[in-house]
Amino acid sequence: MILGNEYDMLKHEAVSKEDTTMQKTTMIVIRKCLLIMLGSFIYSVAINSLLLPHQIGEGGVTGLTAIGYYALHIQPALTNIVLNSIILLIGFKLLDKKTIFYSLWCVVWISIFLKLPPIFQYHTKQTLIPAIIAGVFMGIALGLIYRADGTIAGSTIIASILNKYLGVQTGSAMLFCDLLVAIPSGFIIGTERMFLTMIELYISAVVLNIFNDMFGAKYSIKIITPKVEQMSASLSNQLKQGITMVHTHGYYSGEERAMIYIICSKKQSAKLFPLIEQIDPNAMIVLEQVHSVAGHQLNMLK
């Protein structure tokens, strides 16, 4: 009878843990979907209220939608969802299914928001101003979408593939892909607006890289200290994750020693340095930014 009660208690605890895990997973998915919706809204505002009214182009699929709108009066929402659906099918085998799902969610909402009337009417002869503002808006929007593991498909799918397999910064890879569309668009929108488009794309890429460095960048920390066990225990407790130990050999001293290797976020790294100095002020620390990280611990760093 006692064994039966213990079994029921263990079963109840296991079910409770499973329910808690499912609730946390659901909340994460909801948060990411809302974040993508916000990014999609900002992105659509930049197109509807800043780019299209001033006949400024864009890169990637968005650039093609703008060209279709200027030359053939095709609704951007229609072009956006058709072309991006094709590109998502291409990226289906190269990117994880989670990214594809969030990207599809993003494409749908961008298409919905593009069908809405402009949020504000801003017209000026100084077309450099809307190009700069649109670049900032798009950089922030893309940062939010990437932060939620999504993309706007199009050139961002290609940029994600380059980041994942070659370690190229997302903003830089996207700028290169977008220019392949933006430069030929000069035949439709004119040379002046083509240069404005290039300025907008550059600003967007810079803002996106800054956004990723501030909120999404991952860093590797290498620590060499004689207090390895104490340091590892404290850092693992602080990060709530495992610590990698790398065996090293000093050429000059001939001494063998373990080196602590950690992947963490920028926010986490700021908390680790005071802890490291408290345990061993003479510890050697190497901090490097990592352009691409893959693995199951990646979600723990967010």
The pLDDT value given to residue 228: 84
The pLDDT value given to residue 2: 47
Q: Tell me: the pLDDT tens digits for 56-105?
A: 887 777 777 878 888 878 887 788 778 877 777 777 776 677 878 888 88
E strands, 34-140, are: none
User: Please, which residues have CB within 8 angstroms of residue 288's CB and are 6 or more apart in sequence?
Assistant: 219, 220, 222
Q: How confident is the model at residue 5 (pLDDT cuts 50, 70, 90)?
A: low
* Least confident among 23-27, 152-156, 196-200, 255-259: 152-156
Q: Residue 42 pLDDT more than 80? A: yes
Q: How far apart are CA 50 and CA 133, in angstroms?
A: 8
Q: How far apart are CA 51 and CA 33, in angstroms?
A: 26
What residue type is 259 in one-letter code? M
Q: How confident is the model at residue 10 (pLDDT cuts 50, 70, 90)?
A: low
Q: Tell me: the pLDDT tens digits for 111-148?
A: 889 888 887 777 778 888 999 999 999 999 988 998 88
| Mean pLDDT across 158-167 | 74
User: Phi and psi (nearest 5°) for 217?
Assistant: -70, 145
Q: Residue 107 pLDDT more than 90? A: no
The pLDDT value given to residue 87: 74
Domain parsing of the chain, residue ranges: 20-216, 218-301
Query: Which CATH code, of 3.30.70.120, 3.30.30.60, 3.40.50.2000, 3.40.1400.10, is assigned to 218-301?
Result: 3.30.70.120
The pLDDT value given to residue 293: 58
The pLDDT value given to residue 134: 92
The edge-to-edge listing of strands for the beta sheet with 218-224 is 244-249, 256-265, 218-224, 284-290
Q: Tell me: the pLDDT tens digits for 281-294?
A: 888 888 887 755 55
Q: What is the dihedral of CA 13, 19, 22, 28, to 10 degrees?
A: -100
Decide: 287 and 221 in contact? Cβ < 8 Å.
Answer: yes
Decide: 248 and 256 in contact? Cβ < 8 Å.
Answer: yes
What is the chain's mean pLDDT, rounded?
Answer: 79
Of all helices (H) and strands (E), which one includes residue 265? strand 256-265
